[in-house]
Amino acid sequence: MYKIKLEQFEGPLDLLLFFIKRDELNIYDIPISKITKEFLEYVNFIKMLDLEVAGDFILMASTLMHIKVRMLLPREVDEKGEEIDPRAELIQALLEYKRYKEMSDDLSFMESGQRKISYRGNYSKDVKESPPEFEVLLKNVTVFDLAKAFKKAIENLKPEVFHEVKKINITIDEQITFIMNSLEENPELHFLSLVNEMREKIRIVITFVALLELTKMGMIGLKESSDFNDFVIIKLNNG
């Protein structure tokens, strides 16, 4: 069984901040119903991929559901007679995590700048240029966008009745070759058209993983599509 780790989100607070930033939401007035729906969709997606779902993601999902229920009930009041916002603790946690993340990003930026400095005596003509950063290859495409396209591809599968259990032997290397051969014929491909003829869930899963591997290697790029549930695969010149 193949398992992959989505490193886009370091934890549930990181995922919530992503939703808030993407949809330009007010962190002090979080629309709990909307953000809970999207959070659960992400958790269900990583479950569908048979990933090891961290316990804190499940705990956060439960917390959001609890807050959502409390928002529907009459507001509680504190000792001063003021209404208690059920989102208060979550908002405080998000603000603290946001400050931590910004400090971490600043330190990473400083470290990145330091690495670009060439000190005397350390220069070598044999040093090869490193592949571009993974994020640079994603043009307006996030992991969540990829997740929606993958979910759409799985939903498009027609149910089949199998009378005989067959083991499907397929590897990531084989699907990498398949993708690159497809891009030789057409340098820009829509993901859904690439997997349109596939009938096995495992084949789509491995193809999706192969896409992520090719992107990390800098051989392909991904960009947004006019279709909300799809994305475009681009063959790069060094691919």
Span 67-87, mean pLDDT? Answer: 85
Residue 125 counted as domain residue: no
Structural domain that includes position 75: 12-115
Q: Which CATH number covers residue 168?
A: 1.10.10.580
Q: Do 55 and 107 fall into the same domain? A: yes
pLDDT at 98: 85
Residue 129 counted as domain residue: no
Q: Which residue has the higher pLDDT, 145 or 203?
A: 203
With a cut of 50, say whether residue 122 has pLDDT above it.
no
d(CA 207, CA 203): 6
Which residue has tokens 């808030």? 20
Q: Do 50 and 88 fall into the same domain? A: yes
Q: Do 157 and 102 fall into the same domain? A: no
**Residue 155 burial (C-beta neighbours within 10 Å; 0-12, 13-18, 19+):** exposed
Span 126-146, mean pLDDT? Answer: 55
Q: Do 100 and 169 fall into the same domain? A: no
Span 137-160, mean pLDDT? Answer: 67
Q: Do 81 and 141 fall into the same domain? A: no
Q: Do 92 and 147 fall into the same domain? A: no
**pLDDT tier at 179 (50, 70, 90 boundaries)?**
very high
**pLDDT tier at 109 (50, 70, 90 boundaries)?**
low
Q: Do 97 and 169 fall into the same domain? A: no
Domain count, the chain: 2
With a cut of 60, say whether residue 2 has pLDDT above it.
no
Span 173-187, mean pLDDT? Answer: 90
Residue 144 counted as domain residue: yes
d(CA 35, CA 39): 6
d(CA 95, CA 86): 16
Residue 121 counted as domain residue: no
| DSSP notation for the chain | ------TT-SSHHHHHHHHHHHTT--TTS--HHHHHHHHHHHHHHHHHTT----HHHHHHHHHHHHHHHHHHSPPPB-TTSPBPPTTHHHHHHHHHHHHHHHHHHHHHHHHHHHHT---TT---TTPPPPPPPGGGGEES--HHHHHHHHHHHHHTPPP---SS-------HHHHHHHHHHHHHH-SEEEHHHHSTT---HHHHHHHHHHHHHHHHTTSEEEEE-SSTT-EEEEE-TT-
Lowest mean pLDDT among 40-49, 83-92, 197-206: 40-49
**pLDDT tier at 137 (50, 70, 90 boundaries)?**
low
CB 197 within 8 A of CB 237: no
Compute CA distances 83 → 63, 86, 88, 90, 126, whole Å.
20, 9, 11, 16, 66
Q: Do 18 and 110 fall into the same domain? A: yes
Residue 6 counted as domain residue: no
Task: Please state, rounded to an integer, the average pLDDT across all residues of the chain.
Answer: 75
